[in-house]
Amino acid sequence: EILRLFEIGLQLVSEEEIRNNIQKQLIENPTGNIKLSNFYALVIAKQQFYQLPPQTTTIDDEWAFKCKGNPMIEITLMNLIELILSSPVINRANSIQQVTTIYSLIAQSARDLPSYLINNLEKLRSFISLIRCLTALLPDKALDVFKHVCRQGFDGEFDSCQSIHLFITHLQDIIKKERSTVDQNVIHRTLVKLEVEFLK
């Protein structure tokens, strides 16, 4: 099942990208701050595993590894998700259907792994929800608008209800500018549904 996740991911990323990521994610007994990264790091320090989120440079007890499964597999799965959600991968996508299918298959397969927490699965689900919304409201322009929104900083994570509402308002402006042919009531309902999904 774990290998299947990587096989699915290989439809969007290369083996070399995954291999490079795996080689950089393990850090043993660091001295000083850890190099800034857009990916999770598995740090071994004080005879303990720590799972550092992206953009984290210091070890803290809150990052102590809590998963029942293999720490290396857990971090590699989380980094696969970070990789497929990264700007370079999204920018080279050719089909919104392919992206939706791959994201959904990975989310489904990852959820079925009982020994792994995969803390960034909700982030992946936020991307899936956004894509579904765009596909419903702008079927012919969904991929371009998705890429545009991601370039503007959408990362699937929000720090408050206000930031979610601001994003939805911004998305509504984009949809209006792109002249969606969908009925205004449907647009409103679809955006409300997206906002509720982000609030979960």
> Are 78 and 132 within one domain?
no
> Are 93 and 124 within one domain?
no
23's CB contacts (< 8 A; 6+ apart) are none
Q: Give the pLDDT confidence of 123-171 residue by residue, as tens digits.
A: 999 999 999 999 999 999 999 999 999 999 999 999 999 999 999 999 9
Count of the separate structural domains present in the chain: 2
Domain range enclosing 169: 120-200
Report the alpha-carbon distance of residue 121 to residue 110 in Å, rounded: 8
> Are 87 and 163 within one domain?
no
pTM of the model: 0.94
Q: Is residue 103 part of a domain?
A: no
> Where is the domain boundary, 98, 133, 154?
98
> Are 91 and 6 within one domain?
yes
Q: Give the pLDDT confidence of 13-39 residue by residue, as tens digits.
A: 999 999 999 999 999 999 889 999 999
